Amino acid sequence: MNKTSTKAGRTGRITAAVAATAFSALCVLASAPAFVGSAQAASSRVAAYSGATITIDGVKYPDPLTLKSGTKVTSTSVWENSRRAEILADFRQNVYGQNFSGNYTQTFSVATTNFTNVKRKIVTVRIAAPYATVSYPVRTFIPTNQAVKGTFLMIDHRAAATDDPAQNTDYLPVARLNAAGYAIAIINANDVAPDNNSSYRSKMINAFYKSSSALPDNAMRAVGTWSWSASRAMDYLVTDSDIDASKVAVIGHSRSGKAALWAGAQDTRFAAVISNESGNTGAKLARRGAAGVNAETVAAINNNFPYWFAQTYKAYNGNESSLPVDQHELMDLVAPRRVYIASAQGDNNSDPKGEFLAYTAASQVYGLYGIGNNGLPSNTWQPALNTPYRGDAMSYHLRSGSHDLNYVDWGFYMNGDVFNRSAPTQ
């Protein structure tokens, strides 16, 4: 099969509008001295958060259900048509960065091989952008001996996936997933934006920006590119008659969990979003800082991984309380689709309690749809270990042990009816 489409892209058009609004703010930044500076210097350049707040664990956080104008959001239509766009724009401008806005041509070519009970499709996504053409594989494994229950689209920064349908590690149990009736499609994050400070621009980013020029401060870097590329893989999946496009869950672990959440927040075609121990700039509330457990802070992540997020995010180093958003609102953007937050008890760097609190706070926006039951018996930390909690459209578990994606996690994703949710009642 060969399929070609030319477009500015759905996301591209939205981005252009957002970028135009953001421009005046950027002009102010441009006249200020060097942008990358100490946390102190950077923080003096962003205004303190002055919008409406909610209280989580005794601390004030941005209220997802009050418009910037001060009007309360009481209907899903105002949420979807107005408030959701405000939050999305704030995340783009201040955290993950703006998506590519240049036109591109997208082509898919598919090499299909049949194995016993499994069909493998190595899909090559080819993006011809203004400065270069970049191709990357989407390794897709589909069971053929039973009805397919749904598809996991995995963002894999460990470059773990191979072409082998028998591969079966804890992190990537392709054979077990297929045997259980699930399809899996995998993109290697390094194929689109290498997970490296000196080479992250080398593939997709330099196809959209001149390699000799500095990136705009508000342009997305590696994590945003991983998310964007997952959506391009989804562009393919919706065309594949072996895949039920209404049952695709984007999933990632840790840094890829951040990317999966951001992909699912932006791209409403994903029926479910699974964030496995995504921590800082993923599921963890930023305002908790080190959270008494030496958890990763915004300053730490920006200093250790300066190429993951927009340059604008660095203004919040040591200054989380000025952020116009916090991470509960990233989950809000997924509503009313299923969001699954998974933590590990020993994963202090990710601040499991901070992930849990963001999850419980997100029930507020799901509640607007009448599906606010998050499945937990109580919103008080700490829930029981190794227990999958499932609400109408929200799922959670806290695994014992340390930072990893393992077969205990996958077991919950496979048995948990991830691809269904109660219908919104509003």
Catalytic residues: 254, 403
Q: How far is the CB of 359 from ligand GTR (least distance, A)?
A: 18
Residue with smaller CB distance to ligand GTR, 126 or 403: 403
* Choice between 45 and 403, CB closer to ligand GTR: 403
- Shortest distance (Å) from residue 157 CB to ligand GTR: 6
Taking the complex as a whole, how short is the minimal distance between the CB of residue 58 and ligand GTR, in angstroms?
25
Cα–Cα distance between 194 and 35 in angstroms, integer?
24
Place of tokens 């870097």: 221
Query: Alpha-carbon distance 253 to 275, whole Å?
Result: 6
CB of 109 or CB of 197, closer to ligand GTR = 197
Structure token digits, residue 352: 């499991």
Under the criterion CB under 6 A, does residue 317 sit at the interface with ligand GTR? no
Q: Report, in Å, the least distance between residue 156 CB and ligand GTR.
A: 11
Interface residues for ligand GTR in 380-419 (CB under 6 A)?
none
Query: Is the bond into 167 cis (omega within 30 degrees of 0)?
Result: no
Smallest gap from residue 384 Cβ to ligand GTR (A)? 25
Cβ-based nearer residue to ligand GTR, 218 or 254: 254
Question: Is residue 354 involved in binding ligand GTR (CB under 6 A)?
Answer: no
Residue 280 engages ligand GTR in binding (rule: CB under 6 A): yes
349 forms part of the interface with ligand GTR (CB under 6 A): yes
Map the footprint of ligand GTR across residues 118-177, applying CB under 6 A. none
> Measured at CB, which residue is nearest to ligand GTR?
254
Q: Does 279 bind ligand GTR (CB under 6 A)?
A: yes
Q: Which one of residues 11, 151, 254, 275 is an interface residue with ligand GTR (CB under 6 A)?
A: 254
* C-alpha R_g of the chain: 20
Fill in the amino acid letter for 80: E
| Between 240 and 347, CB nearer to ligand GTR | 347
Closest to ligand GTR by CB, 319 vs 349, is: 349
Q: How far is the CB of 109 from ligand GTR (least distance, A)?
A: 31
Distance CA(401)–CA(399), nearest Å, equals 6
User: Of 94 and 280, which has the nearer Cβ to ligand GTR?
Assistant: 280
Question: Minimum distance from CB of 261 to ligand GTR (Å)?
Answer: 12
224 lines the binding site for ligand GTR (CB under 6 A): no
For ligand GTR, the binding residue among 183, 185, 301, 398 (CB under 6 A) is 301
Residue 343 in the binding site for ligand GTR (CB under 6 A): no
What span, in angstroms and rounded, lies between the C-alpha atoms of 253 and 104? 29
Closest CB to ligand GTR among residues 254, 319: 254
Q: At closest approach, how far in Å is the CB of 295 from ligand GTR?
A: 9
Q: Is 344 in the site for ligand GTR (CB under 6 A)?
A: no
Q: Distance between CA 104 and CA 101 in Å, rounded?
A: 9
92, 120, 255, 353: which one binds ligand GTR (CB under 6 A): 255
Is residue 296 a contact point for ligand GTR (CB under 6 A)? yes
Which residue ranges make up the site for ligand GTR (CB under 6 A)? 254-255, 279-280, 296, 301, 349
